[in-house]
Structure 1
Amino acid sequence: MDLQDQLKNLFPDHVPANEPELPTEDKTLWIQAEPMICKFEKRKGKPTTIIEGYTGTDEDFKLLAKELKTKLSVGGTFKDDSIIIQGDYRDKIMEMLKNKGFKVKRVGG
């Protein structure tokens, strides 16, 4: 007995509404002409990768941060107009950004 059958047994008078699913928006990010900066720093003894220089909206930059963190399966944050990723992932991040159409400049090391 699956969940739908159990619900029908519990609520026999209920008629499920056929609500259309909202289309998921595949938001395209604004691609800028000047390159973004990808640099490596150690903060409190731990390696971090910092991405700066995006001139689009903060919402687009937050979406980009979320996508990077999800694909790399790492922690990070967005603050002060920069994305801070835990760990040294410069090469992977630069490759991902280039595939999206961004120009990326490596700074430091």
Structure 2
Amino acid sequence: MSFKDQLSQLVYSTDQGRIEPEQQAEQVPETDGTIKLRRETKGRKGKGVTCLTGFGLAEAELKTLCKDMKKHCGVGGSVKDYVIEIQGDQRDKLEVWLKQKDYKTKRIGG
């Protein structure tokens, strides 16, 4: 959608009243069944985070899974664009924890 299309949206009509924007269905990224674990430091002032991708779950389900992971590791974290970010290098703990939950895992990067 271009910038002009965003500005030309009908917001209010005298016949119908307030127009609600159309709700689009959530598009969950495709997955191959393998959870990819990687460590990232870019854009975080040298602080490392463990990023997990490939779940193929909706945003709400990812948030509950992220909450369980944070509790297990005793650290903070968040979900951004279908990627779970856990603070610190938690790859070893999370790999064992995910295998107990019957997920197939793979380490990406060094």
Which residue does 2:38 correspond to in 1? 39
SS in 2 for 1:49: strand
Aligned residue number for residue 107 of structure 1: 108
3-state DSSP class of the match of 1:36?
A: strand
- The one-letter amino acid of 1:97's match is L
Per-residue deviation, 1:34: 1.4
Determine whether 1:88 maps to 2:73: no
Higher relative contact order (CA 8 A, sep 6+): 1
TM-score under structure 2 length normalisation:
0.66
Deviation at 1:33, TM superposition (A): 6.0
Helix, strand or coil at the partner of 1:46: coil
Structural RMSD (CA)? 1.4
Tell me the matched-pair count: 78
Match of 2:9 in 1: none
Identity %: 41
Unaligned runs of at least 5 residues, structure 1: 1-31
Unaligned segments of structure 2, at least 5 residues: 1-30
Tell me which amino acid in the other structure corresponds to 1:75.
Answer: G
After TM superposition, the score normalised by the length of structure 1 is: 0.67
Distance across 2 between alignment mates of 1:44 and 1:52? 22
CA offsets 1:30-71 (integer angstroms, 9 cap, x no match): xx8610111001132001100011112222211110000011
Determine which structure has more spread, i.e. the larger CA radius of gyration.
Answer: 1
TM superposition shift of 1:79:
1.1
